[in-house]
Amino acid sequence: MAAEKPTFEEQLAQLQQIVSHLEQGNVPLEEALQQFQEGIKLSKELQTKLTSAEKTLGHLIDDNGNEKVYEKQSDDPSNNGGGNRGFGSENE
Domains of the chain, by residue range, sit at 8-67
Give 10-residue mean pLDDT values along the chain (92 residues): 82 96 93 96 96 82 69 57 45 45
- pLDDT score, position 77: 55
Which residue type, as a one-letter code, is found at position 74? S
3-state secondary structure of 27: coil
- pLDDT score, position 20: 95
20-40: b or e for each residue (b if 16 or more CB lie within 10 Å)? eeeeeeebeeeeeeebeeebe
- pLDDT score, position 78: 55
Write the DSSP assignment of 29-69 as a string of letters. Answer: HHHHHHHHHHHHHHHHHHHHHHHHHHHHHTEEE-TTS-EEE
- Read off the pTM: 0.60
- pLDDT score, position 92: 43
